[in-house]
């Protein structure tokens, strides 16, 4: 056996350098362009990743800017490692430059350093270490970079239509020790009337939220300016202070703008955040100067809950409860709309029943539920060779024999393939601010993940 610790240490400098190169690209999905299905940012990140992989000596292939592969080895078997190059929007309030890859106190900061540019390159460097060590690579090991994991996973779907499945693999896009189950996904939009004619202060529009799969941390209400606005200001300030929330009030030409601040978090863990949309709807629905059918309906069927109690979907199983997030709010000519991101329990057989229940309750509250989409859950037998081998690799890489494989509410690329699980990079008991301000990755965590991925690749060559 070669000296893994020495090989890891020798590659850390290059790994950090290349993570910074990827982080510099703001790869949020944008408007599709010719040859760039997810816009400029993701295409630029694919180009940078292809350059890095080529410099590391891997054979690469760009799948029409939907996805990118980097491969080593030969043989009939195909091991897959799947990561993503796109990120969620940055938002406001960062203390560290989200695109600089700044290092301070042994911590790497930036959007994507944990989700998922950093871990993806750690796994790519692990491939390099295995190859350079002379370890027998008797199968093909292929890294697949997707370009829109955060907004639909269409990139890897395009790849799969062309190339098919992997024999086995992992995605470095969740947490250790290992994820053998992921909740199902339900996504939808709902819409309702913005402002009633008898309102003493008319609402022009709402705006807020970075992405559907992020707890909204800031929402603004734009209202008409009239003689009641001083009273409305007073009521808004009293509401925000009573509930311990940040706020801002300003006038923008003919608009009075009320902004409420919450706390962002990943949609799969809404309990870690504080949804500014829900709190704004609570204020609006209870404010006598305003009359907003959308807010009144929202407060009835959603309220401040993130478990779905008010709309008939508060279900759970042995792996955890359903979680409910409203991520984006806006107003158009048809009314005010918002997005729903639900993660439903793994053992739920038919979420369509609950979807129909929600439609009925929303309609009774004056809201129309539209664009519903149901994604299946994932469950891999914890006793399968894939899970056992990767868990053994985790123990070798970390020395941790206490923590065991778990299930999560998040959805990863593991759902896009038949025999793939999520594996790292986050360690139990630590929050890395993914989908939040000041996302970070401790360098020691990055090093341990790199080492663990070396063991994982060697293990999967034996599956």
CA distance 178 to 442: 19
16 and 162 in a single domain? The answer is yes
Q: Are residues 65 and 90 in the same domain?
A: yes
Statement to judge: residues 204 and 335 lie in one domain: yes
Whether the Cβ atoms of residue 457 and residue 126 lie closer than 8 Å to each other: yes
Q: What is the pLDDT of residue 329?
A: 98
Mean pLDDT across 65-91: 96
CATH (domain of 101): 3.40.630.10
Q: Do 236 and 301 sit in the same domain of this protein?
A: yes
pLDDT band, residue 254 (cuts 50/70/90): confident
pLDDT for 155 beyond 80: yes
CA gyration radius, the chain = 23
One domain, residues 215 and 236:
yes
Phi, psi of 3 (to 5 degrees): -80, 95
Same domain, 392 and 417: yes
pLDDT higher than 80, residue 25: yes
Mean pLDDT, range 159-172, rounded to an integer: 97
**pLDDT-derived band of residue 198, with 50, 70 and 90 as boundaries?**
confident
Residue 3 has pLDDT above 90, yes or no: yes
Give the CATH number of the domain where residue 335 resides: 3.30.70.360
Across 14-157, the runs of DSSP E, i.e. the strands, are 59-63, 67-72, 78-84, 103-104, 107-109, 140-146
Q: Which pair of tokens denotes residue 381? A: 């037998």
Taking all residues of the chain, what is their mean pLDDT, rounded to a whole number? Answer: 95
Instruction: Provide the number of structural domains found in the chain.
Output: 2
Q: Do residue 311 and residue 366 come from a single domain?
A: yes
Q: What is the mean pLDDT of residues 148-165?
A: 94
Instruction: From 345, 375, 405, give the residue that closes a domain.
Output: 375
Q: Of 375, 402, 430, at which residue does a domain stop?
A: 375
* Model pLDDT, residue 463: 81
Give the pLDDT confidence score for residue 91 in this predicted structure. Answer: 81
163 is in which domain, residue-wise? 4-183+379-460
Whether 166 has a pLDDT exceeding 80, the answer reads yes
Answer whether residue 1 shows pLDDT above 80: no
Summarize the confidence of residues 60-86 as an average pLDDT. 97
Same domain, 287 and 398: no
DSSP result, 178-220: -EEEE-EEEEEEEEE----TT-SS-EEEEEE-S-TTB---EEE
Average pLDDT over residues 10-24: 98
Looking at the fold, whether 455 and 412 belong to one and the same domain comes out as: yes
- What gap in Å lies between CA 139 and CA 322, rounded to an integer? 40
Tell which residue, 187, 213, 178, has the closest CA to residue 408. Answer: 178
Smallest CA-to-CA distance from 236 within 201, 192, 210 is with: 201
Indicate whether 384 pLDDT > 90. yes
pLDDT band, very low/low/confident/very high, at 431 (cuts 50, 70, 90): confident
- Domain boundary, last residue among 375, 396, 423: 375
Residues 235, 123, single domain; the answer is: no
Average pLDDT on 437-441 reads: 95
Phi, psi of 381 (to 5 degrees): -55, 120
pLDDT bracket for residue 377 (50, 70, 90): very high
- 94 and 194 in a single domain? The answer is no
Judge if 30 and 149 occupy the same domain.
yes
- Please, which pLDDT band fits residue 313 given cuts at 50, 70 and 90? very high
Confidence of residue 430 (pLDDT cuts 50, 70, 90): confident
């Amino acid at each position: 056996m070669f000296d893994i610790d020495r090989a890891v240490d020798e590659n850390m400098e290059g790994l950090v350098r290349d993570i910074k190169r990827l982080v510099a690209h703001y790869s949020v999905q944008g408007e599709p362009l010719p040859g760039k299905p997810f816009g400029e940012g993701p295409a630029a990140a694919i180009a940078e990743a292809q350059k890095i992989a080529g410099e590391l000596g891997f054979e690469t292939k760009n799948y029409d800017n939907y996805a990118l592969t980097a491969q080593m080895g030969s043989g009939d078997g195909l091991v897959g490692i799947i990561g993503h190059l796109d990120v969620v929007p940055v938002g406001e309030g960062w203390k560290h430059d989200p695109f600089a890859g700044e290092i301070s106190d042994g911590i790497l900061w930036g959007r994507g350093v944990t989700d998922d540019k950093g871990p993806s390159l750690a796994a790519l460097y692990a491939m390099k270490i295995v190859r350079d060590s002379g370890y027998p690579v008797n199968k093909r090991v292929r890294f697949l970079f997707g370009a829109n994991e955060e907004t639909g996973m269409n990139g890897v779907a395009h790849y799969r239509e062309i190339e098919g499945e992997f024999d086995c693999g992992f995605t470095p896009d969740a947490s250790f020790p290992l994820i053998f189950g992921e909740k199902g996904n339900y996504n939808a939009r709902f819409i309702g009337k913005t402002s009633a004619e008898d309102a003493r202060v008319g609402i022009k529009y709402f705006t807020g939220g970075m992405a559907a799969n992020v707890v909204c941390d800031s929402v603004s209400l734009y209202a008409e300016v009239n003689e009641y606005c001083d009273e409305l200001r007073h009521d808004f300030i009293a509401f925000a202070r009573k509930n311990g929330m940040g706020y801002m009030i300003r006038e923008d030409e003919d608009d009075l703008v009320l902004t409420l601040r919450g706390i962002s978090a990943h949609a799969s863990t809404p309990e870690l955040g504080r949804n500014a949309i829900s709190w704004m709807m609570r204020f609006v629905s209870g404010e006598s100067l305003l009359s907003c059918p959308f807010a009144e309906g929202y407060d009835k069927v959603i309220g401040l809950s993130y478990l779905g109690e008010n709309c008939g979907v508060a279900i759970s199983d042995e792996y955890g409860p359903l979680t409910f997030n409203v991520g984006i709010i806006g107003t158009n000519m048809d009314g005010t709309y918002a997005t729903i991101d639900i993660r439903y329990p793994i053992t739920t057989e038919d979420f369509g029943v609950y979807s129909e229940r929600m439609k009925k309750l929303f309609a009774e509250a004056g809201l129309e539920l539209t664009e519903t989409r149901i994604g299946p859950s994932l469950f891999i037998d914890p006793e399968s060779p894939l899970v056992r081998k990767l868990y053994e690799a985790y123990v070798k890489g970390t020395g941790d024999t206490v923590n065991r494989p778990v299930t999560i509410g998040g959805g990863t690329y593991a759902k896009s393939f038949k025999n793939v699980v999520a594996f790292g990079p986050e360690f139990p008991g630590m929050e890395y601010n993914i989908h939040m301000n000041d996302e970070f990755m401790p360098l020691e965590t990055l090093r341990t993940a790199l080492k663990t991925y070396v063991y994982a690749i060697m293990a999967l060559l034996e599956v």
